[in-house]
A = this chain, B = another copy of it.
């Protein structure tokens, strides 16, 4: 959403455009829902769609955001009933794939959105992280004290990995990545328990440190320009 409508009619038009787009997406899939089709079905000109949405990807971002919100509402309640960590992880993974299943051919577009850091994906990331926080906080028994704080971030990481497998999964019904999800939950739970042991625990911390390095380290890396660019190959 690039341009905020400043009049009431504008709001309506934008809303209608978005609603139409989501409808088309659900019915005809990603490729078939061209900007021309969406604009036509919404009763506005093609170029007008670009007045409110700066790109097609921008609309897709809204779709993904909607789906995540749906998912959040759907399974937020189920995470506080004293289930095991494994069950909670499973619930979130399942609801995630369930919400997105109809849009599997959006996979690559979704992935691009989530992995690139430039669009309105902050909100999406926030929702996802919040979910994983509820997964951890609502599980009984609670995971080891030392990792309780960072476990959600770790689970977010893991779930992204799974999501990326799902996005490109060509097996019928995405069977492969669904199986991956099913097996991932117990492994992650087991890992959390094992984090009581210092050896495993330090691995956990290492991995997390990899994913977002402290600002000090980043700054240090900024200074040392390795500068050993390759000699131009003879070709």
Contact = CB atoms under 8 A, between A and B. Distances in A.
A116 interface: yes
Interface residues of A, number: 46
A194 B190 CA distance: 17
Nearest to A22: B235
Given A108-B112, A112-B168, A161-B161, 7 more contacts: A98-B230, A116-B170, A117-B168, A175-B222, A176-B213, A180-B213, A199-B199
A51 interface: no
Nearest to A165: B115
B183 A194 contact: no
Q: Copies of this chain, how many? A: 2
Interface in A181-197: 182-184, 187, 190-191, 194, 197
Interface stretch (A85-93, A122-130, A202-210): A202-210
Say what secondary structure dominates the interface of chain A. Answer: helix
A187 B175 contact: no
Contacts of A183: 209-210, 213
Interface in A126-176: 161, 164, 167-168, 170, 173, 175-176
B194 A197 contact: no
